[in-house]
Structure 1
């Protein structure tokens, strides 16, 4: 298969290689002319492609999950998915602070693009990284550890510095979560209570279909060892009468257990179950924008002003939060973040003008697009959102002086600076 998960990108690489050892990866990279790592194909743009070159899939590498209980870390193969890794960590009494809505994504791909879960206390998935092992342009195996000068630039690396083969993750003690879904909360409730709502539980996710100025669903994920949330008069959303899918009317069998039933962290924090396909909503495109959390209410009202134009090509819109981090190219870098995510229909021609409209409405809030999703912002506009982009380009020059890991995406967004 030479297409991405959504089917909107056809890879132009000459081959897809599937090494089974680090030495094979080193050989492929060292002798290759153009090389990119390929994860679980959940990018909605050409970030992962290597036209005329080699895509390196790590899916057949040994499924390493080595837990060090003394240091509360785990060394894991970058090609594994979070669904592969999480149960092993839990069996050793450990957890990750956050999980993305889809546990089907690869560790390496999620880290490289600053993909995230939800919760005001929880950083993006890259925030758990303590060390990277990557193969650089000459075929050398390099380790970059937390505290090293290059670490903050290399973790969210967009695949531009090399092929990451393994990562070491910081862990926390395992925990149980109960998940409750509530329905129908007026948007204007957020005017006075957004921060309170988003911080009332371990993780809170808001959904709207923009048919009206209201939240269609509020997903609340509470740690079992913390007090129950939302015993406040302003929260008027009613408990859902049964399981819900974020997209109204879709079958709920792919969704994680709701109704307040306790379960392990990795079985509740994602929206979708690991033992089901990653989506039951059919073909889709996705966009996502990260803004400062303090601007979230104003941004949502700005979108409400054009909801009649958004709605015809929208499946669902989700609002989440993430803690600030210090990675140079992280959309959560330097600010407590609110993310506004759009799951669109699969009609690219109809979607792109609406994406441009959304970006125009969010421009006053310095909205940073998710690197791996559909966006129309110009490279110059994106570059202006990242003060450390020139420093990252210095890293690219040092780690990849011949441009082996470059592609059309990096040419657009890094080319003027490298």
Structure 2
């Protein structure tokens, strides 16, 4: 196969063959005949979770039909579909998803499988909207899971890390379409962090760890709500569009300055037609208890001098608790502490170790698709359904067809 890399370029896939099946039957035969297989979606994982030494499969060639069920308030979509493309389709028909991630470029199946999220005190991660899954298991059989008939198994299968099978179709809850306005505020005092995070439908707080003040707050509020005061929580209103990463073009970002627009053109930070973030980066993220937000920042202060030189931006977001077994927000409202690092693994690695050491008292759960190095036992201890997921994986994939080195480290087989 031609050498392939992930989106950030830090992972060169080791697969010996690359496939793009054109039908579900072709995919099922491929899975049944492989001893090692993984699916590559949009390639937005920053670690080797999606890598394999066997067969790497793209689902981009499969049928792309989208089925909207207005009575059930759900939509069933191909796993390879990008959120940005789905959002446009839904909005044109009067519907929306409750939440989106900061970038619309990611595939539905890959995003929910890794616990990817947006922001909002009352909004769960993207997987919380999953009402059903269709996947091809290791023997090539088709397994369909539905929230109404198998709620427990579905709760275990949504954030699957690709360990259970090839997710071909996903059914998601939808809501009526809605409009938002996006405001950017500069210079948030730390003591106002909790108030800021709960102040709008979706909120992101950005900092660079160079000053005690939090650099920017991006608030995505319902369009019908009154605009914030010019000195909201002691901040200054931005008078021109911003980009989270200093020096990057603001044209890459969704409209700001309070201009009203549809949900899918405000919830993400980045526009679908542009490179998200900086494009040259590594990313790490840790979910900790929401109630510990102030203590978490204080715990990181002693290593701020290490963080700042290798940081592009740090983002703080909130995620509502869910019941998905391997979700980083399982059973606890969470604060997500996200680091966009420079693209230099050798310089970032020791800083990452220092950050993880400072976060250890808060039982951090790393984002499964980012760069992290917390010891496996510590990660396992934060997931009450850890053993249940391992048992589910052993039942659906007894031969380990979908295993990777990262899975073997963090979710070893018996």
Provide the aligned C-alpha RMSD in A.
Answer: 1.3
- 8 Å CA contact retained: 1:222, 1:228: no
Alignment of 1:239 with 2:246, yes or no, is no
Equivalent residue for 1:301, pick from 290, 298, 302 = 298
Deviates more, 1:59-68 or 1:129-138: 59-68
Equivalence for 2:388:
391
Cα deviations by residue, 1:229-276 (Å, 9 ceiling, x for unpaired):
655977011010100000122211110000100111000000000111
1:71-123: CA deviations, max 9, x gaps?
11101000010011111111111100111011000000001001000101110
1:257 matched to 2:255? The reply is yes
Partner of 2:55: 54
Distance 2:20 2:371 in 1: 27
Look up the match of 1:156: 159
2:407 is aligned to 410
Q: Give distance in 2, aligned partners of 1:114 and 1:14.
A: 28
Unaligned ranges ≥5, structure 2: none
| CA distance in structure 1 between the partners assigned to 2:347 and 2:283 by the alignment | 13
**Residue 68 of structure 1: CA displacement?**
1.0
How far does residue 293 in structure 1 lie from its aligned partner after superposition?
0.4
Contact 2:104 2:270 in 1 (8 A): yes
Aligned residue pairs, count: 410
| Number of the residue aligned with 1:205 | 204
Alignment match, 2:222: 223
Q: Distance between the aligned counterparts of 1:409 and 1:323, measured in 2?
A: 27
**Per-residue CA shift, 1:266-317, capped at 9, x if unaligned?**
00000000111233x2410000000110011110111122211110100000
SS in 2 for 1:303: helix
Structure 1 unaligned blocks of 5 or more: none
Q: Quick check: 1:174 aligned with 2:165?
A: no
TM superposition score normalised by structure 1 = 0.96
TM-score by structure 2 length? 0.97
Alignment match, 1:26: 28
Secondary structure of 2:90's counterpart equals helix
Counterparts of 1:328-407 in structure 2 under 5 Å?
328-407=325-404
CA distance in structure 2 between the aligned counterparts of 1:259 and 1:414, rounded to whole angstroms: 45
For 2:35 and 2:227, how far apart are their aligned partners in 1? 55
**2:230–2:237 contact (8 Å) kept in structure 1:** no
Distance 2:192 2:179 in 1: 29
The answer to whether the Cα contact below 8 Å between 1:200 and 1:229 also exists between their aligned partners in 2 is: no
Deviation at 1:188, TM superposition (A): 3.2
- Structure-1 separation of matches of 2:24 and 2:297: 46
